[in-house]
């Protein structure tokens, strides 16, 4: 019987959700991470012991003294030369990847798994919100901080305590991550696939291997289950659904051929109004206050799941209207000016060319004719190498592009792979490579923009509060 859970990389968004789950279930939770962040500080405030220096002596004594009662949860981001990981291996601890633990926690439970190379965090948060808002008991492990929940973890109202596990009939919403084929630990009753665009080629080598992993994932849907798949996904993925699994394709318009689509889409400021047409009927008058046509598309898939759980049209309308998004997904940091001459600062986690294109086109649609400056931090050397032309093309939607150096995450530098690869191919009227301090200085001294966007999955979010403060003083004459 496990009593202690120790996390190597506890500050990761998926890892921290698991840490919160174990603590809510009465386990003694602790962990290591490389640096302190607002998320780790919140975990510490919730009673979880965290250290930031890699040394065996820093592992809590209870963990070191009770090997058989300890579960170690590992993130792939931990480097191979990590001292604590090496010691725990040598001592024979039970070490599991995050994905393996998630597989165990969801085993035997109705699982709603949201997969896709982009869109899965927003879509899974939408599913969890719609069910929770309508009073359907459910749990959710999310890959971002839901604004509605204020967390990346949702537990049913009747939380399990004293190591009593979640009731086996309660649905669990999980983000199914294709990185390192992690999602193959899941056997969902309902699966959403938002996209199968090429990504993580450092793991897969080529797109066909990535698509094959999605086929395997879809092949694990439970008998009698449902696959809700974007019409742009590789057709072979839907074809891999087991016999008896219902397949529903979705997209923005019926001309694209999906059974589930949106109609009468209108945008008014940040508010998108639309109707849903699909195999489960038509629901009109939906209002989504998180902007972007891609978010209307994400909500189609989430609403389809809600209909599977018998939400009425009234419940669905109310839940969609109440949805407030995910931190760092089209998050409005600051707005000022007038409707005719708006000043806006928006932040987004986009780190794939398709995501950036969808985000920037939505920004352009919201603020036509306004001058747009984009600050982008590339994430991973391998992704920069593989998709530099795509990044350059999507970023060129802006009037001005400022690039930071590549955020390495789990990777070591690669010869010849720098942000210059992207910069040299950008066709925007203005482009530059700057440090964080130079960015802050230039926003203060050269505010030649109406809309500012910070974009990326690395640590560019550290700039957000400082940029907000500078702009609030300039636009509103007040300290943020």
Distance CA 46, CA 24 (A): 10
Nearest to 171 by CA among 234, 124, 123, 231: 124
- Three-state secondary-structure class, residue 174: strand
Tell me the C-alpha distance between 187 and 27, whole Å.
26
User: What are the strands of the beta sheet with 70-74, ordered from one edge?
Assistant: 49-51, 28-32, 4-8, 70-74, 94-97
The answer to whether 468 is annotated as binding is: no
Nearest to 50 by CA among 5, 100, 82, 106: 5
119 annotated as a binding-site residue: yes
185 marked as binding residue: no
Contacts of the segment 29-37: beta carbons below 8 A, 24+ positions apart:
29/4, 29/5, 30/4, 30/5, 30/6, 30/60, 30/63, 31/6, 31/7, 32/6, 32/7, 32/8, 32/58, 32/59, 32/84, 33/9, 34/9, 35/11, 36/11, 37/11
Query: Is 118 assigned a ligand-binding role in the annotation?
Result: yes
Burial class (CB in 10 A: 0-12, 13-18, 19+), 262: buried
Contacts of 479 (CB under 8 A, 6+ apart): 469, 472, 473
> What stretches of 315-393 adopt beta strand conformation (E)?
331-337, 342-348, 372-376
- Say if residue 106 carries a ligand binding annotation: no
Residue stretches of the annotated binding site for ATP: 116-122
Residue stretches of the annotated binding site: 116-122
């Amino acid at each position: 019987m496990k009593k202690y859970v120790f996390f190597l990389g506890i500050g990761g968004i998926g890892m921290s959700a698991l840490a919160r789950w174990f603590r809510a279930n009465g386990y003694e939770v602790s962990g290591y991470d490389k640096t302190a962040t607002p998320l780790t500080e919140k975990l510490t405030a919730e009673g979880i012991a965290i250290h930031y220096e890699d040394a065996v002596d820093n592992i809590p004594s209870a963990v070191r003294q009770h090997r058989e009662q300890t579960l170690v949860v590992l993130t792939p981001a931990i480097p191979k030369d990590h001292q604590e990981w090496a010691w725990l291996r040598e001592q024979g601890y039970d070490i599991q990847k995050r994905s393996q633990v998630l597989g165990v926690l969801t085993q035997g439970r109705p699982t709603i798994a949201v997969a896709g190379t982009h869109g899965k965090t927003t879509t899974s948060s939408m599913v969890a919100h719609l069910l929770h808002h309508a009073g359907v008991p459910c749990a959710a492990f999310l890959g971002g901080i839901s604004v509605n929940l204020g967390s990346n973890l949702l537990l049913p109202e009747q939380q399990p305590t004293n190591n009593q596990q979640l009731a086996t009939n309660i649905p669990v919403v999980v983000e199914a991550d294709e990185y390192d084929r992690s999602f193959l630990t899941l056997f969902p009753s309902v699966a959403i696939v938002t996209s199968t665009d090429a990504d993580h080629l450092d793991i897969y080598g080529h797109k066909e291997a990535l698509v094959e992993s999605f086929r395997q994932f879809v092949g694990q849907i439970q008998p009698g289950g449902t696959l809700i798949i974007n019409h742009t996904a590789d057709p072979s993925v839907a074809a891999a659904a087991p016999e008896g699994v219902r397949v529903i394709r979705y997209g923005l318009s019926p001309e694209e051929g999906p059974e589930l689509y949106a109609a009468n889409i209108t945008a008014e400021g940040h508010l998108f109004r639309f109707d849903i047409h699909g195999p489960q009927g038509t629901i009109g008058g939906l209002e989504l206050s998180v902007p972007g046509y891609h978010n209307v598309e994400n909500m189609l898939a989430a609403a389809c799941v809600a209909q599977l759980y018998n939400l009425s049209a009234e419940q669905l309308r109310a839940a969609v209207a109440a949805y407030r998004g995910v931190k760092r997904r089209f998050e409005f940091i600051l707005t000022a000016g007038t409707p005719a001459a708006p000043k806006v600062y928006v932040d987004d986690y986009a780190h794939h060319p398709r995501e950036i294109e969808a985000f920037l086109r939505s920004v352009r649609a919201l603020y036509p004719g306004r001058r747009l400056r984009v600050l982008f931090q590339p994430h991973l050397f391998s992704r920069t190498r593989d998709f530099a032309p795509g990044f350059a093309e999507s970023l060129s939607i802006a009037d001005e592009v400022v690039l930071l150096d590549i955020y390495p995450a789990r990777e070591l530098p690669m010869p010849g792979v720098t942000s210059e690869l992207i910069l040299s191919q950008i066709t925007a009227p203005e482009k530059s490579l700057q440090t964080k301090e130079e960015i802050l200085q230039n926003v203060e001294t050269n505010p030649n923009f109406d809309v500012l966007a910070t974009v990326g999955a690395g640590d560019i979010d550290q700039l957000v509060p400082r940029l907000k403060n500078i702009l609030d003083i300039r636009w509103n004459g007040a300290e943020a």
